[in-house]
Structures are given as structure tokens and as C-alpha cells.
């Protein structure tokens, strides 16, 4: 019996070496952790249980029959993060470059099926050169099996992808189907075709970093939600992200005693909005002051900066924050910001996360490029997302909400539960000056002093229409609140709507304006 135990220990030790010490050293030399080191850093100590350690590929073509490494390039299993069960796979670049084989894919699909059955998050630590070429269509079939499970798991359990090395071709589609993508600066890349292929086909000379690096995808393409300096920082932040989320779509996110007084007044907010309506202010200051302990995990912070999205807690409960940012494009909605916010609102609704919206929006960004780019359809995505969301929704208008953008930003008309406005808020079809120029055009033109007349009628319009009390009289605003009371009023609104149930007409699925 001892011989059998010794042999098992030896085989386990060999399997855990992956592609061997030389390749492990090469991985470390690139500033990267190995597949197993990443799982150790991610999971609670000692909690990870590996599955299918001894699985090998079954390919015999191109000399592959002479090369078998246990595990076949991916480590799969289950463990806990902050005591909650998660399933994870970690691709091993030291084994065949982390390429996906038929056997490799079966291992991944196995833990994904388990996660869906028991209602636990799925985490993919991706470091792969793509499909294993030697296996041909079998490896492509493996990718498709993974994709199918990504789709089945969507909206059922949270799916998070960490890109921790080069991911090309089919290797990028699975992450694209998941809820969040995290990348490591300088060592991780995502592209369908690499720089060499691009140069051959289009004659463009581009580096891997320019084509698909973490900075590119987190600031320009919007593909990545987060970009971090190294593997360890990413894994720490992945744990933080999961702590905000429920395990599945039938649960609420864990409630935490934050120690932050729910009724805490914030008097500095009374002076946040400048008297000059043209002057910007930082909406992120408001967000960080009202949430518990200023702990706000911003998502896509470097992309479409005219809107802010992220996760926080209020009175210990996870909330999704959406806020216009007056510092960028005056807070206008454009194509990129509409898509960014719409996807986040839909994610929150999938996983029972209440949505808090802070509004200061002058409208949709005008311009030829926006119209040609389809701002009508892309802006409708955000409208659609808010309108279909059934979670508690609390909205605060801090300065202005003009035109269709007022409707889109979680207005009462899109089934907002509590809609508040600060006393200086303006809610109208457009700004007072623009509206007055249209409404009083003939009077201004007939005046001996058109400029003075415009000022006069603009002031009268602003006093009579561009204020929150008109909307409040019609029931579109539930209350006009003092800025320093914002935290407590939002929390009280969320408390009131806890347990909200909203029935929808039967449908197979909706038809989002993609």
C-alpha cells in the first residue's frame, strides 16, 4: 500500500509542475505567476480542490502522441473566496502555451456545469495562445462548448474573466461573453488576430500592446473593465469584486456591517454644485461621500469617462452606481457612455443589485459622428436597460436633466421607485436660454434691445419651468431634498423597496436594440 501512496504522491508532484521547472522559471521571468500560484493567491488559504489533475489529451497527429502532460494545460476546481464557494479554471501557459484542446475544454465545461447546477460564480484565469492547432476542428469544437456554457450561465451566476497573458483568436470570445474582464498591464493581451497577421493582411505595423493591451482595452475599446499593474493586484481586486456580488441570480449580495452611520449628514455636498451652471464639478466626489466608508469600486474608469459606473455599499447593502460626470463632455450621453451604462444596469438587474443613479445631464451629445455611429440605437440601449430593470431604483437629480436624457436616466416614467432632486435642479426639455430663444423668438426679435430681452425672458422661464418643483407637482419627483441629506434619503428609499417584486409580461426573451 505504501508503494501505491508513494507513486500517487510522485505523480501528483510531477503533474503540478506543469510544463516543467524551466518553463515555470520563464513564466516568473516575465513577471507572471503560474496557473496554480494564481489560484492559491485568489482562493481562501487551503480551500481550493483541484479536479481532473491527471487528464491528458488524446491527439496523435503531428507527433502529439509522444507528448503527454497531466492536466493538459488547465487547472480546474472549486474553492472559496471570503468563505463562499466559487469554481475556477486557470490556464497553464507552461503546457503547450495554454492552448485549448478537446480534453482541456471538457475540464472547463465540467466545472462550468457544476457552477450552474449549484449556483456559484465562475472565474476564468486566461493565459492562452488560442486553439491547439494540432487538434484542428476538435479544439474549435471545445471552444464552442465553452461558449455555449458561457451563454447558459449568463444572468444565472456571475462570470469573471482575468486575462493574465496573451489571449488570441477563440481564447478571447469566452471572456467577451462573461460579465467582467480584468487585465494585467504589459503582460496580458487580447486580440482576434495578432500583430503579425495584421501586418500581413492590412500592412499596418502595430505592437501587441497597441493592438490589444490592457491600456488599449480599458481606455479605447471598452473591452476590459479593469487594468492592473501585476497578477497579484488583479487577483486581490478580483476577490474584492466578488465580495460585492451575490453567488447567483436567486440570492442577494452579502450584507456587511460597514460601521458607517446611515443617517450621516454630508454638509460639504451643499456647496458641491457651482452657482454658475456652466462650471463643472466632480460627480465622483458625491459618489464617494454618500457610499459606505467611501468604498467605491469603479468599473471601466478609463473608458467613456462622461459616465461613472461601479459597485459600492449603502447601509451595508451592495448597490450599483450610475452617475453622469459633468467634468467630461459636460456629462452628455454619447454612444460609448450609453453602452457602458446599459450593460452595467442590466448586470445589476440580473443579480438583484439595486441601482442608484445620480443625474446631471444636458442631453445627448450632438454631432455628425454620433448620428452616423448610431447614437439613436445605442442611446436606446440605456433606455431599454432602465425600463426593463425590476430591482429597486433610486434617482437623484443634482443639477440638470434635459430632454430625452432626463427620461433615459432612470426617470419616474421608467418605473423609478424614488426620484429625488436637489433644490437647484433644472428639469426641462432644454436649458432655459435655448428654450427662451425658441419660445420667445418673435418678442426678442421685435425688442429694441434683443440681448436684454433674452435675459429677461430666460430668467422668467427658469423661474417658472426650470426647477424641480414643477416636476414635483406632477408627481415625477417624489421630493426635493437638501444635498446633505442625500445619503440617508437614498438609503431610506432602498430600505422601503427591499423585497420589491415586479411582474413582467411573459416572453421568451426581450429584443434589446443591439
The tens digit of pLDDT for each residue in 127-181 reads: 987 767 666 677 788 889 999 999 999 999 999 999 999 888 778 999 999 999 9
What is the domain partition of the chain in residue ranges? 2-244, 267-431+466-496, 432-465
- pLDDT at 277 (0 to 100): 85
Low-confidence ranges of the chain (pLDDT < 50): none
**C-alpha pair distances (Å), 457 with each of 97, 353, 430, 462:** 70, 44, 15, 8
**What is the torsion angle, in degrees rounded to the nearest 10, for the CA atoms of residue 438, residue 338, residue 383 and residue 355?**
-120
CA pair distance 255, 2, nearest whole angstrom: 49
Write down the pTM of the prediction: 0.94
Clarify whether 475 is annotated catalytic: no
Place of cell 426581450: 510
CA pair distance 338, 356, nearest whole angstrom: 16
Given 119, 222, 404, 434, the catalytic residue:
404
CA pair distance 270, 42, nearest whole angstrom: 42
CA angle (402, 406, 407) in 5-degree steps: 140
- pLDDT at 290 (0 to 100): 98
Q: Report helix, strand and coil shares of the chain as percent, to nearest 5.
A: 45, 20, 35
**Please, are residues 419 and 380 in contact by the beta-carbon 8 Å criterion?**
no
**Please, are residues 477 and 412 in contact by the beta-carbon 8 Å criterion?**
yes
**Please, are residues 196 and 239 in contact by the beta-carbon 8 Å criterion?**
no
Clarify whether 342 is annotated catalytic: no
Counting Cβ atoms within 10 Å, is residue 32 exposed (0-12), middle (13-18) or buried (19+)? Answer: buried
Counting Cβ atoms within 10 Å, is residue 239 exposed (0-12), middle (13-18) or buried (19+)? Answer: middle
Do the two domains 2-244 and 267-431+466-496 of this chain adopt the same fold? yes
- pLDDT at 428 (0 to 100): 85
CATH class of 2-244: alpha beta
Counting Cβ atoms within 10 Å, is residue 59 exposed (0-12), middle (13-18) or buried (19+)? Answer: buried
Q: Which of 327, 328, 357, 329 is nearest to 342 (CA)?
A: 357
Number of H helices, E strands in the chain: 20, 16
Given 171, 401, 405, 421, the catalytic residue:
405
Phi-psi region of 409 (alpha: psi -120 to 50; beta: other; left: phi over 0): beta
CB-based contacts of 342, cutoff 8 Å, min separation 6:
381, 382, 384, 385
Per-residue pLDDT tens over the stretch 298-346: 999 999 999 999 999 999 999 999 999 999 999 999 999 999 999 999 9
CA pair distance 244, 258, nearest whole angstrom: 13
Q: Write down the CATH number for the domain with range 267-431+466-496.
A: 3.90.226.10
Given 19, 98, 165, 169, the catalytic residue:
169
Clarify whether 310 is annotated catalytic: no
- pLDDT at 174 (0 to 100): 93
- pLDDT at 122 (0 to 100): 98
End-to-end CA distance of the chain: 62
Dihedral pair phi/psi, residue 70, rounded to 5°: -55, 140
What's 334-350 look like in SS3? CHHHHHHHHHHHHHHHH
**Number of residues written out for the chain:** 514
Clarify whether 222 is annotated catalytic: no
Per-residue pLDDT tens over the stretch 224-267: 999 999 999 999 999 999 999 999 999 999 999 999 999 999 99
Given 79, 170, 320, 331, the catalytic residue:
170
Q: Which of 260, 375, 278, 294 is nearest to 327 (CA)?
A: 278
Amino acid at each position: 500500500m505504501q508503494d501505491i501512496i508513494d507513486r500517487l504522491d510522485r505523480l501528483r508532484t510531477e503533474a503540478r509542475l506543469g510544463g516543467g521547472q524551466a518553463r515555470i522559471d520563464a513564466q516568473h521571468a516575465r513577471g507572471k505567476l503560474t496557473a496554480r500560484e494564481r489560484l492559491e493567491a485568489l482562493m481562501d488559504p487551503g480551500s481550493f480542490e483541484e479536479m481532473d489533475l491527471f487528464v491528458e489529451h488524446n491527439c496523435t497527429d503531428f507527433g502529439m502522441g509522444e507528448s503527454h502532460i497531466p492536466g493538459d494545460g488547465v487547472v480546474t476546481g472549486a474553492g472559496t473566496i471570503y468563505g463562499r464557494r466559487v469554481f475556477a479554471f486557470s490556464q497553464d501557459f507552461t503546457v503547450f502555451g495554454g492552448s485549448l484542446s478537446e480534453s482541456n475544454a471538457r475540464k472547463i465545461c465540467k466545472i462550468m456545469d457544476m457552477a450552474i447546477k449549484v449556483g456559484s460564480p465562475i472565474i476564468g484565469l486566461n493565459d492562452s495562445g488560442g486553439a491547439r492547432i494540432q487538434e484542428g476542428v476538435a479544439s474549435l469544437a471545445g471552444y464552442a462548448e465553452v461558449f455555449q456554457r458561457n451563454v447558459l450561465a449568463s444572468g444565472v451566476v456571475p462570470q469573471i474573466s482575468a486575462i493574465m497573458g496573451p489571449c488570441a483568436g477563440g481564447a478571447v470570445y469566452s471572456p467577451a461573453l462573461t460579465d467582467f474582464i480584468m487585465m494585467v498591464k504589459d503582460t496580458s493581451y487580447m486580440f482576434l488576430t495578432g500583430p503579425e497577421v495584421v501586418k500581413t493582411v492590412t500592412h499596418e505595423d502595430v505592437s501587441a500592446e497597441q493592438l490589444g493591451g490592457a491600456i488599449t482595452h480599458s481606455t479605447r475599446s471598452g473591452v476590459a473593465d479593469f487594468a492592473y499593474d501585476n497578477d497579484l493586484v488583479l487577483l486581490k481586486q478580483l476577490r474584492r469584486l466578488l465580495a460585492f456580488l451575490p453567488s447567483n441570480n436567486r440570492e442577494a449580495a452579502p450584507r456587511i456591517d460597514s460601521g458607517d452611520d446611515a443617517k450621516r449628514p454630508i454638509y460639504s455636498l451643499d456647496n458641491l454644485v457651482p452657482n454658475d451652471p456652466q462650471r463643472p464639478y466632480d460627480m465622483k466626489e458625491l459618489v464617494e461621500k454618500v457610499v459606505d466608508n467611501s468604498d467605491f469600486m469603479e468599473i471601466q474608469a478609463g473608458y467613456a469617462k462622461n459616465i461613472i459606473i461601479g459597485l459600492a455599499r449603502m447601509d451595508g447593502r451592495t448597490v450599483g452606481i450610475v452617475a453622469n460626470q459633468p467634468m467630461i463632455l459636460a456629462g452628455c450621453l454619447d454612444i460609448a457612455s450609453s453602452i457602458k451604462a446599459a450593460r452595467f444596469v442590466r448586470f445589476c438587474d440580473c443579480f438583484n443589485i439595486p441601482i442608484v443613479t445620480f443625474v446631471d445631464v444636458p442631453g445627448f451629445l450632438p454631432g455628425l459622428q454620433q448620428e452616423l455611429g448610431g447614437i439613436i440605437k445605442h442611446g436606446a440601449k440605456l433606455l431599454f436597460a432602465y425600463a426593463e430593470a425590476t430591482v429597486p431604483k433610486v434617482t437623484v437629480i443634482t443639477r440638470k436633466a434635459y430632454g430625452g436624457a432626463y427620461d433615459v436616466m432612470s426617470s419616474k416614467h421608467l418605473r423609478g421607485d424614488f426620484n429625488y432632486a436637489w433644490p437647484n435642479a433644472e428639469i426641462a426639455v432644454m436649458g432655459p436660454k435655448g428654450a427662451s430663444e425658441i419660445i420667445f423668438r418673435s418678442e426678442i426679435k421685435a425688442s429694441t434691445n434683443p440681448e436684454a430681452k433674452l435675459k429677461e425672458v430666460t430668467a422668467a422661464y427658469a423661474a417658472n419651468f426650470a426647477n424641480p418643483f414643477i416636476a414635483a407637482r406632477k408627481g415625477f419627483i417624489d421630493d426635493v431634498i437638501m444635498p446633505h441629506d442625500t445619503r440617508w434619503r437614498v438609503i431610506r428609499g432602498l430600505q422601503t423597496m427591499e423585497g420589491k417584486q415586479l411582474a413582467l409580461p411573459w416572453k421568451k426573451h426581450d429584443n434589446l436594440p443591439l
